[in-house]
Structure 1
Amino acid sequence: MKMKAALMYGPDDIRVEETEKPIYPKDGLLLKIMAVGLCGSDIRNLTTDSRKGDYPFIYGHEIVGLVDEIGNEQTKYSVGDRLFLFPGTYCMECDECISGHSENCSDTAVAKLAGTGGFAQYAAVSGEKIRRGGIYEIPDDVSFEAASLGEPLTSVFACLENVDVSFPDTLVIIGAGPIGCFMAQLSKIRGAQKVIMIDINDNRLEMAKQFGVDVTINSLKEDPIEAVKSLTNGRGADKVISATPANATQTQSIHMVRKGGLVVFFGGVPKGSMTELDCNLIHYNNIWIKGHFGASYSQSKRAFQLAISPSFPTEKFVTHVLPLEQINEGIRLTRTGEAIKVVLHPFD
């Protein structure tokens, strides 16, 4: 049996064509993908030699859909169930999981149980993934587009919880992409009093204002460090989050935070690259620096619950819904800043 999928044949070479439908085990199921979000990490993978020549490959991890078929030994879900498939899977037995950091699970076999293959009409879900968890049912009154935001919101939710963004914080977010906009909205929900957004794209900065951003700074037009100091009476922000794939913003971030403040390196930078930091400034100003990646199962479920709740303005974030055939257009819209969040429909 055939299905339609967006196959990557190399950097910037994505072709929507027919391929074999995935085979699911007797204790698993076949998910009919109704919507899949286009993530920044997907775009990075699709536009670089991410597979080091191992092509073709199907990316896509913000997956929601309907149970289309079930194996004869699968008993948890039924045909027609609406499911959100969290890409992370944790063993809950290694030292990292036991210590409360399941997002760093060291069992690589378990971690690979789910995670990609969403830019297609169908995805196979194994029985072990079902048993390990990270699959949540979508209420009938929630759209698939809204539910797909549960995945990108997860890491943002975990980050802001882990560093306790709350009243009366002044928060700087560097990077006005989808993740930065999620951060701004959720920071306001958590009680932050002032959110300052920094980017180099005026269009993105303008769109970010609808998500609770109080002040925007274009770092190509003014010195972002001096601008933040001016906005905080020379004190610096309580917390600064670098949410871009750039070493330069990490370097800048420690100059924007107050003494005793917290800096978070959220966005991954190019592998092998090094960030230059003023270690004396960090030392004498008692600056804390935290790296953030992923989320625990508890955080992933609560982030999903937030994404499908009336408290979260999904309709503002999903700016473009496109058929899978237009994935390359979705990439372009996201990279230029014309879109906040692109969701693809494999069956349109």
Structure 2
Amino acid sequence: MQAAVMYGPNDIRVEEREKPKCPPKGLILKVMAVGLCGSDIRNMTTDSLQGKYPHIFGHEIVGTVDETDAPDGAYQLGDRLYIYPEDHCLKCKACRSGHSENCMNSGNYINRQGGFADFVPVTNLQLQRDSVFKLPEGVSFEAASLSEPLSSVYACQENINITLGDTVVIIGAGPIGCFHAQLAKLRGANKVIVVEINDKRLELIKQFGADYTINSMSEDAVKKVRKLTNGCGADKVISANPAPSAQAQSIFMARKGGIIVLFGGVPKGSMVEIDTNYIHYNNLWIYGHFGANSIQVQKAFELAISPQFPANKFITHILPLKDINKGIELTRTGEAIKVVLLPNR
């Protein structure tokens, strides 16, 4: 099979590899579409596995069953499937309390072979748990590949209850920022303000419901947010980018009693100075967000493949797997919103 193999930071080679063997009571998925995620790019451009290479990444996976040893005929050859990368045990304390995103026994998808390849194995444990979803006929593989990145955005906005009439600030206009803008509008937000340093991205995000855009390199973002909210600040502020300075600044964009979400991870080891006195006297709530619980994963999948969600607007580039390095560059420069790679085609 063809696969995009990481040999080290920024060293991604598309080459022939042996097709994986079907896991006992599992299946082999023929990968028809796989999204290129920001975390994939971060992992493939840094020493993310600390020298444990070669490795195949890719976790936004959709395809068809090519081989199956699944019991009871649960999966047939040709079945169209979306594979959520983490499988939750649904038995530990975190899962049972409704927070399976914090599952203590979840499958470690980083250590598995990923989907930047023609074929990927799916284990029996994955099939037994909550990570495999069948695609209805008529739904494109490309649209379904957005289910995974949408899941965390969906969970975040549900958790903080973005709702009718809200003013929402999103810091970062990358692919995740675009998802946040669109979903906030679908949930009834009255005003969506996007802060970013890349003019190209600010222009692109307007099609996803951004009412106002601010380039924080050319104007004071906090002052502008205050001006756009009659001096009050936003109901909810989501920092969806990897900059520590953005997290520090985000608290000053929220109204008294408002909510701030630290959505985007910053470089490991980074420390952020936050004015805790300001948080204290303004009754601010600060949340960290990562992942999605089991039912939110399902709801996000159902939304991604529904007519309500304009999947095709997000997918700006569809490339063959051999052009993965081009896809990485398009995403890093901000020219692409979402790149979807097509193995086997």
TM-score of the superposition, structure 1-length normalised? 0.97
**Which letter does structure 2 place at the counterpart of 1:282?**
I
**Which letter does structure 2 place at the counterpart of 1:187?**
A
- Deviation of the 1:74 alpha carbon: 5.8
Equivalent residue runs for 1:190-269 within 5 Å: 190-269=187-266
- Aligned equivalent of 2:65: 67
- Deviation of the 1:128 alpha carbon: 1.3
Other structure's SS at 2:17 match: strand
Other structure's SS at 1:184 match: helix
Query: In structure 1, what is the Cα distance between the partners aligned to 2:259 and 2:125?
Result: 39
| 8 A Cα contact 1:89 1:114, kept in partner | no
- Deviation of the 1:115 alpha carbon: 6.5
| Superimposed CA distance per residue, residues 185-210 of structure 1 (whole angstroms, 9 cap, x where no aligned partner) | 01000000000001000000000000
Query: In structure 2, what is the Cα distance between the partners aligned to 1:19 and 1:113?
Result: 19
Equivalent residue runs for 1:76-225 within 5 Å: 76-108=74-106, 110-112=107-109, 117-225=114-222
| Superimposed CA distance per residue, residues 254-291 of structure 1 (whole angstroms, 9 cap, x where no aligned partner) | 01100100000000111111111001000000000000
- Deviation of the 1:233 alpha carbon: 1.1
Gaps of 5+ in 2: none
Within the candidate set 272, 275, 281, 1:275 is matched to 272
Flag the 1:228–1:19 CA change in 2: closer, same or farther, 3 A: same
**Which letter does structure 1 place at the counterpart of 2:213?**
T
Query: In structure 1, what is the Cα distance between the partners aligned to 2:152 and 2:162?
Result: 14
Runs (4 or more) in structure 1 with deviation over 3 Å come to 110-116
Does residue 1:336 correspond to 2:333, yes or no? yes
Flag the 1:172–1:215 CA change in 2: closer, same or farther, 3 A: same
- Deviation of the 1:75 alpha carbon: 2.4
Query: In structure 1, what is the Cα distance between the partners aligned to 2:184 and 2:202?
Result: 17
| 8 A Cα contact 2:55 2:113, kept in partner | no
- Deviation of the 1:23 alpha carbon: 1.5
- Deviation of the 1:323 alpha carbon: 0.3
Flag the 1:114–1:14 CA change in 2: closer, same or farther, 3 A: closer
**Which letter does structure 2 place at the counterpart of 1:284?**
Y
Query: In structure 1, what is the Cα distance between the partners aligned to 2:55 and 2:23?
Result: 21
| 8 A Cα contact 1:114 1:125, kept in partner | no
Q: How many residues align?
A: 345
Query: In structure 2, what is the Cα distance between the partners aligned to 1:14 and 1:139?
Result: 34
Q: Mean Cα displacement is larger for which, 276-285 or 85-94? A: 85-94
Flag the 1:190–1:284 CA change in 2: closer, same or farther, 3 A: same
**Which letter does structure 1 place at the counterpart of 2:294?**
Y
Equivalent residue runs for 1:291-302 within 5 Å: 291-302=288-299
Flag the 1:116–1:266 CA change in 2: closer, same or farther, 3 A: farther
| 8 A Cα contact 1:84 1:137, kept in partner | yes
| Superimposed CA distance per residue, residues 293-346 of structure 1 (whole angstroms, 9 cap, x where no aligned partner) | 100110011100100000001110000000000000000100111100000001
Within the candidate set 302, 306, 312, 1:315 is matched to 312
- Aligned equivalent of 2:45: 47
Query: In structure 1, what is the Cα distance between the partners aligned to 2:292 and 2:147?
Result: 12
**Which letter does structure 1 place at the counterpart of 2:164?**
F
